[in-house]
Amino acid sequence: MRHFDLSPLYRSTVGFDRLFSLLDQVSGVEAANTYPPYNIERTGENAYRISVAVAGFAESDLTIETRENTLILKGSKENRSESAATPAEVLYQGIAARAFERRFQLADHVSVTGASLQNGLLHVDLVREIPEAAKPRRIPIGGAQLVEASKAA
């Protein structure tokens, strides 16, 4: 029997919690980590925070875009030439500062409210704002007769 790993879909979406949590329980398979590592947190009932580890990147090296229902985080460091007076020889390179592009699928009515860079972590705050027309509403049982009576008048 074949098993499909749906955890990458769950980890790169925001606002689809109920649907993907069910699929994640069924699959139970852990996805491989990719660069850069990130967390998705729920900070309120309709609020989320994506935290991406971007050690070594400055604010000018990072770009945040939203297109349709996609949040795109990009990072690229400019090649900064070392001073000729103090050439550096790297003995071990453990800090990856390579360019990256990370995409997150956002649910309908989820928007970015802000972003901050603190201690090597890029925090992107999101909120789900459901318009009044899309919210569930209660219909009184006798309401259809009242609408018909007002049309006849």
What distance in Å separates the CA atoms of residue 64 and residue 43, rounded to the nearest whole number? 20
What distance in Å separates the CA atoms of residue 39 and residue 89, rounded to the nearest whole number? 33
For 119-148, the pLDDT digits (tens) are: 999 999 999 888 888 778 888 887 555 445
What distance in Å separates the CA atoms of residue 132 and residue 32, rounded to the nearest whole number? 40
Percent of the chain's residues with pLDDT above 90: 30
pLDDT exceeds 50 at position 27: no
User: What DSSP letter does each residue of 44-74 carry, written as one string?
Assistant: ETTEEEEEEE-TT--GGGEEEEEETTEEEEE
Q: What is the pTM of this model?
A: 0.62
- Residue 13: CB partners within 8 Å, gap ≥ 6? 20, 104, 105, 106, 107
Q: Which domains does the chain have, with CATH numbers?
A: 36-79+91-132 (2.60.40.790)
At residue 32, the pLDDT reads 44
At residue 131, the pLDDT reads 82
| Overall size of the chain counted in residues | 153
pLDDT exceeds 80 at position 152: no
- Residue 143: CB partners within 8 Å, gap ≥ 6? none
Report how many helices (DSSP H) and strands (DSSP E) the chain contains, helices first.
3, 8
Q: Return the bridge partners of 82, or none.
A: none
Average pLDDT, the chain: 76
The SS3 call for residue 43 is: strand
Torsions phi, psi of 42, nearest 5?
-100, 115
For 43-69, the pLDDT digits (tens) are: 998 899 999 999 889 999 999 999 988
Beta strands, E only, 8-118: 13-14, 38-44, 47-53, 62-67, 70-75, 100-106, 110-118
